[in-house]
Structure 1
Amino acid sequence: MSEDATSVIVTRRAQAFPKLDAGEIAKLRRFGAVHSWNDGDCLFAAGAAGPGMFVVLSGIVRVSRRDGLGGTVPVVDQGPGEFLAEVGQLSGGPAFVDGHAAGAVDALLIPPEQLRALVVAEAELGEKIMRALILRRVILIEQGSSTVVVGVTGASDTVRLAGFLTRNGHPHQVVDPGAEAAQALVQAHAAGPADLPLVLCPTGQVLKNPRESELARCIGMVDPARVVGRRFDLAVVGAGPAGLAAAVYAASEGLSVVVLDARAFGGQAGSSARIENLLGFPTGISGQALSGRAFVQAQKFGAEIAIPMTVSRLDCSSAHAGLLRLELGEYGAFGTLEARTVVLATGARYRRLDLPGQERFEGRGIAFWATPLEARQVQGQEVLLVGGGNSAGQAAVYLAGHARRVRILVRRPLVETMSQYLVDRIAASPAIEVVVGARVVALSGDEELERVRWKMADGETDEPVRHLFLFIGAEPATEWLHGCGVALERGFVLTGGSLPVDAAGAPSAVRAPAQHETNVPGVFAIGDVRAGSVKRVGAAIGEGAAVVAQLHAYLALLPCA
């Protein structure tokens, strides 16, 4: 197999596939049990739930991946002292590759719950193993896996599904339907263009232009049965920086935690190309990288993560008895789970332009984030970006490295709404033009966005634009709380001292609410969804950490479960 010289499997092979010495293997033995396999036996299969981490004691295990179109590609052979797993095995997720015994094999099998215990209990050894697990996921993402999206590159639904998989860190590959290897699949399953893109799941099931939730279930990314009917100490709704921080700190302190998000981990921050004003990252870090690390960290400490999973309703009828219920799926289709506490970290949804017909161009020329996927689409082309906040500035700077020109439409000068370091960087870029006092008034096109008209003080401009990025703020995602009695202000959740004195359960002589506590017992709010929060990634992470102490104080008041 030819390998790119810049690939992680080449540049960091020693870290991705380390060899354990006898002393390290001895430490691992208390976390698992020894099993044996004969020549040709399957230890794990792509698409099936992974049983955990295998530490080879004798023999060879041959790892291969399916290309999704009938072929098999060798990945690596691993022998005595080496271990087989990737980061998904922290939670028992589906395997992305196949592992077969090449001759007789003896191996120590460490199940997911024991693997999590291992990386926490054996800090130095755990660090070596965690680094390898993460790098192996990176390698799988680089190489693609047996999840295949067969669709026209740049087509809206192809971008939608590939973007969903990318934001969730799920290895996949995109194949053009005209490619020779894909033609038989297209002929067998796509009666017409409306069936594209096709998605071939690791199990062999083929989906026709699926919804993200359908795709997630097919590839084993989410399994409602893992959370439905269970009771947790804490349910975190929203997997942005605030929610993930709360999950990491709560799970690391021994609370049983479930994290639910309707789309992907990272929230709005996950779409930031580079965050440069976050403490501890002087050269910056992408929102995807930051949230990806937090996502893995939460799993390391045992948090159960269900993404994508919609929460349709919060039932607070038993809140005063120390029990909350969350209805899962649209209209509660999947059932419910119970939690002693709930942290609202749903952030906010992207605002749209108030223009007729905008919806039909979303994903067909209009985007709300700037990731490498979008950067490839705009290569050498004209880009229009609306928004004057930091997210808009970060996106403009990132896209300017790929597009021919980026024009930023704003109503006020950037110095009034954007951090100075971004204002300076935009001013220094010859590829960026700032148009002050402008607003978009019309969009046009057939199936894709083709033209944009905007108005300025001295008239209107109508130009061909195929890529429009909107960074015009967001609205709180709290409509699902209606009926629960959580106090809101313009849709944002009121907490602590901001609660009105007449709100049910609000400040009283018995117990004043904590800083992030709502008026409903056991319900807390952090991050952008909380009224009065500072809209910064660092602040969201801080609130996620701070709320855990408040959760402990509240739980201490409840009867023992």
Structure 2
Amino acid sequence: MEASEPRRRRAAIVCVDDEPAVLAAVARDLRRQFGERYRIVRATSGPEALGALKELVARGEQVALLVADQRMPGMAGTEYLVEARKLVPDAKRVLLTAYADTEAAIQAINEVDLDYYLLKPWDPPEEQLYPVVEDLLTTWEAGAALESGGVRVIGHRFSRDSHDLRDFLARNRVPMRWLDVERDSEARELLAVAAVEDGRLPVALLEDGTVLERPTVLELAERLGVSAAPASDHYDLAIVGGGPAGLAAAVYGASEGLRTVMVEREAPGGQAGTSSRIENYLGFPTGLSGSDLARRATDQARRLGAELLTVQDAVSLRVEGAGRILQLSGGGTLSANCVLVASGVSYNHLTAEGFDTFTGKGIYYGAALSEARSCSEQHVVIIGGANSAGQAAVHFSGYARQVTMLVRGDSLAKSMSHYLIEQIAAIPNIDVRTGAQAIAAGGDDHLRTLRIRDADGEHEEDVDATFVFIGAAPRTDWLDGVVGRDERGFILAGADAKAAGFPLKRDPYTLETTVPGVFVAGDVRARSIKRVASAVGEGSMAVSLIHEYLAE
């Protein structure tokens, strides 16, 4: 270990390899590129590296990255990473392998939640090493910043208003610390200093010293600069919705010279942004979280010149000559030559007894990843049997004592990807119950029980939190009477739009709606394939079609 340094110390990159020459080369290359930002700690065996990690943790130091060789005597790289993960669960993990070991490396992706594997030698490091490590460190830094906390939110865990603030900050990747007034003494001390009464919760304490009592999401967004007004009066392309389809369109539209603005009602990423892990997205063999995908796409869109407006929603659309006018929820308007509707879908709400009463108080729609740590050693119920439900079950199993999945159908195979079914089957604290449904929720100030009906009849179970994924409805009410929709509210495009009364002599473009110049992409389109990759494809394809439309 290196000699002690003055606080605050740089986070560590810990490298372990039993071959001195390889270890020296790894440390040299990493120090050359990242030495100013990180300390490079070396070890010649798995046990020695674990000892170094224990010392770092005991001193309160951060560990950003673990780099381990696979072939080491006594303790293989994968064995070491399994143990290291228990000490530093948030550190990124990289395995060094020879070509002959790639099979072991791929297997380790599932066994140790590996982030990447590198083939030796990595020459030149500028191409084979540095881009990979930089990407991993950037992702780690984003997570570390969120944990360090800029905004402090004080409230009751089972408060709908508190949950809404926490979820908004988490999904928009705003650094935040959550303080439960019933569990954290610091919360009560801060309330006393700020002279805030318990009835005025939740409270947001900003870094500039501002105290916001019972703020709405919009008020908090405005104070933090998350919400913004349009910078221009007119755009080539206005995108409604910031999910994968909308973000893809923002990236391609801006990169191809269109003045592009994207409007998102909650946070970039849309419904996909709440996914704990997307493992079948092309090009990411270790998978990535929905929030990581959203962060990468958002940064990319902004770098290329797209304008992103969050905590804004489109409430109406009207046609004025060649212009398409969007009315925004904040009171303003957007004018554009073309509009792309990528507003996505929202989870259906259960109408069973008690579910509305406890929404935000133990019952949540979607993954609500901000609640995961609060579910430590508790009983969590997931209602639904599609991929989103499966991803949530896997994620919460890492925190909860027990995760129970209630699936109406007789099998997961009807609606869930095979890889997820295998993962769930291998996790001991996930209990899948097919042919089961929740028919009532009970409690006092928050959820405490669910009444469940299954093949054995009805019975009541104690639960701590429930997350609901039971199908989705399109967000298209704001287009009623303007754009053609099917009986379920999904937007008609292409041949369907022509059959519904497209007004021009030419055929509509593949993703064009019944209103010329208004296009649709992603889950909100009728007949769409509900997958992240297809939404990204449609978003990028829409921009090509929009270019054709503008050239008419």
Residue 201 of structure 1 deviates from its aligned partner by 2.9
Q: TM-score, normalised by structure 2?
A: 0.73
The one of 272, 276, 279 equivalent to 2:279 is: 276
Structure 2: which amino acid aligns with 1:291? A
> Using the alignment, how far apart are the partners of 1:134 and 1:272 within structure 2?
16
> Using the alignment, how far apart are the partners of 2:275 and 2:306 within structure 1?
25
- Secondary structure, counterpart of 1:358 in structure 2: coil
Q: Which residue of 2 aligns with 1:164?
A: 168
CA separation of 1:518 and 1:244: change in aligned 2, threshold 3 A: same
- Secondary structure, counterpart of 2:174 in structure 1: coil
Q: Which residue of 2 aligns with 1:267?
A: 270
The one of 306, 311, 314 equivalent to 1:311 is: 314
Q: Which residue of 1 aligns with 2:323?
A: 323
The one of 140, 148, 151 equivalent to 2:145 is: 140
Residue 209 of structure 1 deviates from its aligned partner by 2.0
- Secondary structure, counterpart of 2:470 in structure 1: coil
CA separation of 1:400 and 1:475: change in aligned 2, threshold 3 A: same
CA separation of 1:541 and 1:17: change in aligned 2, threshold 3 A: farther
Deviations 1:246-298 (A, max 9, x none): 00000011111111111111111111111111111111111111111001111
Q: Which residue of 2 aligns with 1:533?
A: 528
> Using the alignment, how far apart are the partners of 2:140 and 2:388 within structure 1?
28
- Secondary structure, counterpart of 1:326 in structure 2: strand
Structure 2: which amino acid aligns with 1:496? G
The one of 212, 216, 219 equivalent to 1:214 is: 219
> Using the alignment, how far apart are the partners of 2:440 and 2:13 within structure 1?
44
CA separation of 1:426 and 1:487: change in aligned 2, threshold 3 A: closer
Structure 2: which amino acid aligns with 1:309? Q
Q: Which residue of 1 aligns with 2:250?
A: 247
> Using the alignment, how far apart are the partners of 1:12 and 1:445 within structure 2?
56
Check the 8 A contact 2:240/2:263 in 1, yes or no.
yes
Check the 8 A contact 1:366/1:469 in 2, yes or no.
yes
**1:295-310 superposed matches below 5 A:** 295-310=298-313
- Secondary structure, counterpart of 1:353 in structure 2: coil
> Using the alignment, how far apart are the partners of 2:393 and 2:506 within structure 1?
48
> Using the alignment, how far apart are the partners of 2:159 and 2:318 within structure 1?
40
Residue 361 of structure 1 deviates from its aligned partner by 1.3
Residue 376 of structure 1 deviates from its aligned partner by 0.7
Structure 1: which amino acid aligns with 2:512? E
> Using the alignment, how far apart are the partners of 1:502 and 1:352 within structure 2?
30
Check the 8 A contact 1:263/1:309 in 2, yes or no.
yes
The one of 252, 255, 260 equivalent to 1:257 is: 260
Q: Percent identity?
A: 43
- Secondary structure, counterpart of 1:235 in structure 2: strand
CA separation of 1:185 and 1:514: change in aligned 2, threshold 3 A: same
Q: Which residue of 2 aligns with 1:190?
A: 196
Is 2:438 aligned against 1:432? no
> Using the alignment, how far apart are the partners of 1:376 and 1:504 within structure 2?
51
The one of 348, 356, 361 equivalent to 2:358 is: 361
Q: Which residue of 1 aligns with 2:550?
A: 555
> Using the alignment, how far apart are the partners of 1:149 and 1:535 within structure 2?
35
Check the 8 A contact 1:202/1:219 in 2, yes or no.
no
**1:13-92 superposed matches below 5 A:** 15=34
Deviations 1:6-40 (A, max 9, x none): 699xx999659679xxxxxxxxxxxxxxxxxxxxx
Check the 8 A contact 1:273/1:371 in 2, yes or no.
no
CA separation of 1:253 and 1:135: change in aligned 2, threshold 3 A: farther
Q: Which residue of 1 aligns with 2:74?
A: none
Check the 8 A contact 2:483/2:491 in 1, yes or no.
no
**Greater CA deviation, 338-347 or 349-358?**
349-358
> Using the alignment, how far apart are the partners of 2:548 and 2:463 within structure 1?
54
Deviations 1:297-335 (A, max 9, x none): 11011111111112111122x1xx220111112xxx422
Q: TM-score, normalised by structure 1?
A: 0.72
> Using the alignment, how far apart are the partners of 1:207 and 1:554 within structure 2?
47
Check the 8 A contact 1:311/1:327 in 2, yes or no.
yes
Residue 499 of structure 1 deviates from its aligned partner by 2.1
Residue 538 of structure 1 deviates from its aligned partner by 0.5
Q: Which residue of 1 aligns with 2:398?
A: 401
Structure 1: runs of 5 or more not aligned: 20-123
Residue 164 of structure 1 deviates from its aligned partner by 1.0
Check the 8 A contact 2:237/2:258 in 1, yes or no.
yes
CA separation of 1:144 and 1:493: change in aligned 2, threshold 3 A: same
Deviations 1:55-84 (A, max 9, x none): xxxxxxxxxxxxxxxxxxxxxxxxxxxxxx
Is 2:519 aligned against 1:546? no
Residue 197 of structure 1 deviates from its aligned partner by 1.7
The one of 417, 420, 423 equivalent to 1:422 is: 420
**1:478-517 superposed matches below 5 A:** 478-505=476-503, 510-517=505-512
> Using the alignment, how far apart are the partners of 2:36 and 2:511 within structure 1?
44
Deviations 1:332-368 (A, max 9, x none): x422111111110011011111224422312211122
Structure 2: which amino acid aligns with 1:389? A
Residue 151 of structure 1 deviates from its aligned partner by 2.7
> Using the alignment, how far apart are the partners of 1:463 and 1:200 within structure 2?
38
Deviations 1:104-152 (A, max 9, x none): xxxxxxxxxxxxxxxxxxxx9xx99x9798776555323222x221234
The one of 419, 438, 447 equivalent to 2:445 is: 447
CA separation of 1:442 and 1:133: change in aligned 2, threshold 3 A: closer
Structure 2: which amino acid aligns with 1:167? R
> Using the alignment, how far apart are the partners of 2:153 and 2:238 within structure 1?
33
Q: Which residue of 1 aligns with 2:513?
A: 518
Q: Which residue of 1 aligns with 2:76?
A: none
Check the 8 A contact 2:179/2:186 in 1, yes or no.
no
> Using the alignment, how far apart are the partners of 2:32 and 2:433 within structure 1?
48
> Using the alignment, how far apart are the partners of 1:310 and 1:300 within structure 2?
23
Q: Which residue of 2 aligns with 1:343?
A: 340
Structure 1: which amino acid aligns with 2:544? A
Residue 4 of structure 1 deviates from its aligned partner by 8.3
CA separation of 1:12 and 1:532: change in aligned 2, threshold 3 A: farther
CA separation of 1:252 and 1:483: change in aligned 2, threshold 3 A: same
Check the 8 A contact 1:239/1:261 in 2, yes or no.
yes
> Using the alignment, how far apart are the partners of 1:281 and 1:420 within structure 2?
18
Residue 488 of structure 1 deviates from its aligned partner by 3.7
Is 2:155 aligned against 1:151? yes
Residue 160 of structure 1 deviates from its aligned partner by 2.6
> Using the alignment, how far apart are the partners of 1:313 and 1:151 within structure 2?
35
Residue 502 of structure 1 deviates from its aligned partner by 4.7
- Secondary structure, counterpart of 1:468 in structure 2: strand
CA separation of 1:372 and 1:328: change in aligned 2, threshold 3 A: closer
What do you get for the CA RMSD once the two structures are aligned? 3.1
Structure 2: which amino acid aligns with 1:183? E
CA separation of 1:165 and 1:504: change in aligned 2, threshold 3 A: same
CA separation of 1:2 and 1:368: change in aligned 2, threshold 3 A: farther
- Secondary structure, counterpart of 1:527 in structure 2: coil
